[in-house]
Chains A and B, each alone.
Chain A
Amino acid sequence: DTAVSQTPKYLVTQMGNDKSIKCEQNLGHDTMYWYKQDSKKFLKIMFSYNNKELIINETVPNRFSPKSPDKAHLNLHINSLELGDSAVYFCASSHLGAANEKLFFGSGTQLSVL
Chain B
Amino acid sequence: GDSVTQMEGPVTLSEEAFLTINCTYTATGYPSLFWYVQYPGEGLQLLLKATKADDKGSNKGFEATYRKETTSFHLEKGSVQVSDSAVYFCALRTLTGGGNKLTFGTGTQLKVEL
List the interface of chain A (C-beta within 8 A of B): 4, 31, 33, 40-45, 48, 50, 55-56, 90, 92, 96, 98-103, 105-108
Inside 8 A of A42's CB, which chain B residues have their CB?
104, 106-107
Report Cα–Cα, A100/B52, bound state, in Å.
10
A4→B89 contact, CB < 8 A: no
A90→B51 contact, CB < 8 A: no
Report Cα–Cα, A57/B64, bound state, in Å.
31
Task: With CB as the reference atom, state the residue of chain B lying closest to A97.
Answer: B100
Inside 8 A of B31's CB, which chain A residues have their CB?
99
Q: A43-B107, A100-B51 are in contact. Are A107 and B93 (CB under 8 A)?
A: no
**Nearest CB on A from B25, distance (A):** 13
A55→B107 contact, CB < 8 A: no
Report Cα–Cα, A33/B17, bound state, in Å.
36
List the interface of chain B (C-beta within 8 A of A): 31-32, 34, 38, 41-46, 49, 51, 87, 89, 93-96, 98-104, 106-107, 109
Q: A40-B106, A41-B107 are in contact. Are A50 and B46 (CB under 8 A)?
A: no
User: Dominant SS at the B interface?
Assistant: strand
* New A-B contacts (17) at CB < 8 Å, excluding given A41-B87, A96-B100: A41-B106, A42-B104, A42-B107, A43-B44, A43-B89, A45-B102, A55-B98, A56-B101, A90-B43, A90-B44, A92-B43, A99-B94, A100-B93, A102-B46, A103-B44, A103-B46, A105-B43
Report Cα–Cα, A4/B104, bound state, in Å.
20
A105→B45 contact, CB < 8 A: yes
A31→B107 contact, CB < 8 A: no
Task: With CB as the reference atom, state the residue of chain A lying closest to B44.
Answer: A105
A41→B51 contact, CB < 8 A: no
**Nearest CB on A from B53, distance (A):** 14
**Nearest CB on B from A60, distance (A):** 13
Report Cα–Cα, A22/B45, bound state, in Å.
20
Inside 8 A of A50's CB, which chain B residues have their CB?
99
